[in-house]
Amino acid sequence: MTWILEWFPGKKPAASQEERDRLLMVARYRYKAGEFQEALEWLMSVETKCSGDDYFHYLRAQCHAALGNWDDAKSSLKMASDKSEILKLRAVDDPVFDAIFG
């Protein structure tokens, strides 16, 4: 893998699923603790490593919704839904999203 980095300077290998899970868990704990802004800031700080993960977008939607940022919440939820049918169905039962879609 290191030879690839020599050919493409400035490119970093993608985070492993285990690393993404750990990074997203920090945001999840902050969200569950009611630290919505801090959770969102954390998500933005790890976006380059985690934006390919559907759960990243779902968490971001939850944070935006909790902060009353409905347009951003809808956008993030759409990204999560486009990436994962399971998260699309899960969002239907989430009371936070009832406030978004009525």
pLDDT digits (tens, 9 = 90+) for 55-100: 999 899 999 999 999 889 888 888 887 887 777 677 666 666 666 6
Phi/psi zone of residue 10: left (φ > 0), alpha (ψ -120 to 50 degrees), beta?
left
By residue range, what is the domain housing residue 82?
Answer: 16-101
Whether 2 has a pLDDT exceeding 50, the answer reads no
Residues whose CB is less than 8 angstroms from the CB of residue 100 and which lie 6 or more positions away in sequence, other chains included: 65, 70, 73, 74, 77
- The model carries a pTM of 0.76
Q: How confident is the model at residue 37 (pLDDT cuts 50, 70, 90)?
A: very high
Asked whether residue 56 is domain-assigned, the answer is yes
Q: Are 60 and 39 in contact (CB under 8 A)?
A: no
Q: How confident is the model at residue 3 (pLDDT cuts 50, 70, 90)?
A: very low
For residues 45 and 47, give the distance between their C-alpha atoms in angstroms, rounded to a whole number. 6
Our count of domains for the chain comes to 1
Asked whether residue 96 is domain-assigned, the answer is yes
**pLDDT given for residue 102 in this prediction:** 59
Asked whether residue 9 is domain-assigned, the answer is no
